[in-house]
Amino acid sequence: MQRGLFILFLKLEALRMKKQNERISLLVLNLMPNKLETENQLNNVFSGNNKYLEKTYCYPGTHQFKSIQPKEVQERYYRFDELKDNSYDGLIITGAPVEHIPFQEVDYWEEFCEIIDWSKQHCKKVLFLCWAAQAGMYYVAKVPKKVCFEKKFGIYKLNVQYADHELLDGMGENIWMPFSRYSTTDKRDLSDDRFNLIADSPDVGPVIVETKDQKFTFVTGHPEYETKMLDKEYWRDINKGKKIKKPANYYAGQNNRIINTWTIHSQRLFSNWLKGVKNFKA
């Protein structure tokens, strides 16, 4: 899809929502260490929908932070337990750099499970990203994660399994997404009676999965990543002395020029998910 047509689509979607005077309340459980960076990335993929979203950010109160959070996070973010009496149209749970730790050993695991149970009555739809997607599938259906010897790191093309699904509306066949994790899921562990497999990849396994009732959507990549994020992670690991390959399908030419092939798909994915939230609300 041409970028100009996609931008027009976003504008028309935003105008339609404005005319209906309908706002979407969205709770974001931000599990990433750099919360403001992740928040900015999400705002980018929300794109033209931002002005019609009422966003609330929170974190698990049982998590032990390794560093003092910025003042802005302290002032604007809530502990989840402070919001338990509220209801929201949608919930997004971000990834977290804990894929090398068994689920039950993550310090906020019990609260994470509690939030999933809470969402069944308090949210219309839930979107899980990266680690949260693997953790969510494990909690709702005991789908195991498998630790990888080599990091799944780069931009990978998806194989569409459910071409007419509303989440893929207008995205075409060439869909790309960033990945950065040391674990994966085997699609043979996804039972047909519990899940719809929407897209996968031979390199990274299942990518977009949903429960049969379409309540929970699991995206095992990082569609929210901005252009230079994988570059930052690559050089961070290099400077720490880690052995890591360059991110796949990311740098172009000898000068390591970055061509962003995924954000247009990510914006469409989030826009389609928000449309599903809005329609579910109706």
* Sequence ranges of the binding site: 151, 180, 236
Active-site residue, from 130, 210, 233, 265: 130
CA 101 vs. chain centroid, Å, equals 19
Phi, psi of 92 (to 5 degrees): -115, 130
159 near 200, Cβ under 8 Å? Answer: yes
Q: Is 224 known to be catalytic?
A: yes
Active-site residue, from 58, 224, 233, 265: 224
Among 178, 99, 90, 176, CA closest to 132: 99
Q: How far is CA 198 from CA 56, 78, 83, 164, 191, in A?
A: 28, 33, 32, 9, 13
CB atoms < 10 A from the CB of 164, how many?
A: 7
Active-site residue, from 13, 39, 222, 265: 222
Binding-site residues for substrate sit at 151, 180, 236
Rounded CA-CA distance 47/18 in Å is 15
Q: Is 100 known to be catalytic?
A: no
- Provide the annotated active-site residues: 130, 222, 224
